[in-house]
A and B are shown apart, each in its own frame.
Chain A
Amino acid sequence: DQQVKQNSPSLSVQEGRISILNCDYTNSMFDYFLWYKKYPAEGPTFLISISSIKDKNEDGRFTVFLNKSAKHLSLHIVPSQPGDSAVYFCAASGSSGGSYIPTFGRGTSLIVHP
């Protein structure tokens, strides 16, 4: 059973508009959430994270929002640029027997059209 779900396999957005990527989780023990970005032929790279004690974290054009009651987080990219076209993975971690190994979602492929 998936503990971290990214229900949209793909998303298409026009350059300059907002991209919103969504992620849901089921495990109440998760208390830290991360987004990774992956280009073809490269490994994933860390993008932004948020702790469960916050509901928002911003880094330039990227903002992650966390709604703990709904077990939902989202990544907003404003404004979207063609270079943002990539696969985005949501990941969640929490203490489980002292281990914080993250669980990844299946990814959302974002295409930003010029």
Chain B
Amino acid sequence: EAQVTQNPRYLITVTGKKLTVTCSQNMNHEYMSWYRQDPGLGLRQIYYSMNVEVTDKGDVPEGYKVSRKEKRNFPLILESPSPNQTSLYFCASSLSRGWGRNYGYTFGSGTRLTVV
């Protein structure tokens, strides 16, 4: 089944403790992206990648890092999490540079992160 898999689904952590949220897709998509969803703010892009070893900042990159060493994986790294990073995170992938203009992104099921 074609899918984007995120892990973990739920995570509670303490301020300052480094964490990584993994994202993997099995569709051979070149383009991958991370979003966070907050109440009243919708989906905001954190980072995106257009190919292996090619990453760029989205709208809200502060406090996050990403890497794209392989095509299928795009982990999101929080080096020193803070409470304002408590959010619902989604990874998404797309086949083409059009970012799914004809068929949309494929999103993962989300990671609910709480930083205390």
Excluding A43-B109, A101-B45, 5 further A-B contacts by CB distance (< 8 Å) are A41-B110, A43-B92, A43-B108, A98-B97, A100-B99
Interface bin, chain A: 20 to 34
- Assess the A36–B104 pair: CB atoms within 8 A: yes
Q: CA separation between A6 and B4, bound complex, in Å?
A: 27
Chain A residues near B (Cβ < 8 Å): 6, 9, 32, 34, 36, 41-47, 49, 51, 89, 93, 98-102, 104-107
Q: Is the interface of B mostly helix, strand, loop or mixed?
A: loop
Chain A hits for B103, CB < 8 A: 46, 49
Partner of B42, one of A43, A47, A101, A104: A104
Tally inter-chain residue pairs, CB-CB below 8 A.
67
Partner of A99, one of B4, B43, B97, B104: B97
**Complex: chain A residue closest to B100, CB-CB:** A46
Fill in one digit per residue for B87-116: 1 if any A CB lies within 8 Å of its CB, else 0: 000101000011111111111111000000
- Assess the A34–B101 pair: CB atoms within 8 A: yes
Chain B hits for A105, CB < 8 A: 42
Chain A hits for B90, CB < 8 A: 43-44
Q: Give the shortest distance, in Å, between A68 (CB) and chain B (any CB).
A: 16
Chain B residues near A (Cβ < 8 Å): 4, 33, 35, 40-45, 48, 58, 90, 92, 97-110
Q: CA separation between A101 and B97, bound complex, in Å?
A: 8
CB-CB under 8 A for A43 and B97, given A34-B104, A36-B104, A101-B48 = no
Q: Give the interface centre of B40, B92, B103, B104 by most chain A CB atoms within 10 Å.
A: B104
Partner of B107, one of A44, A99, A106: A44
Q: CA separation between A34 and B35, bound complex, in Å?
A: 17
Q: Which 4 A-B pairs have the closest CB atoms?
A: A46-B104, A43-B107, A106-B42, A104-B43
Chain B hits for A102, CB < 8 A: 99-100, 105
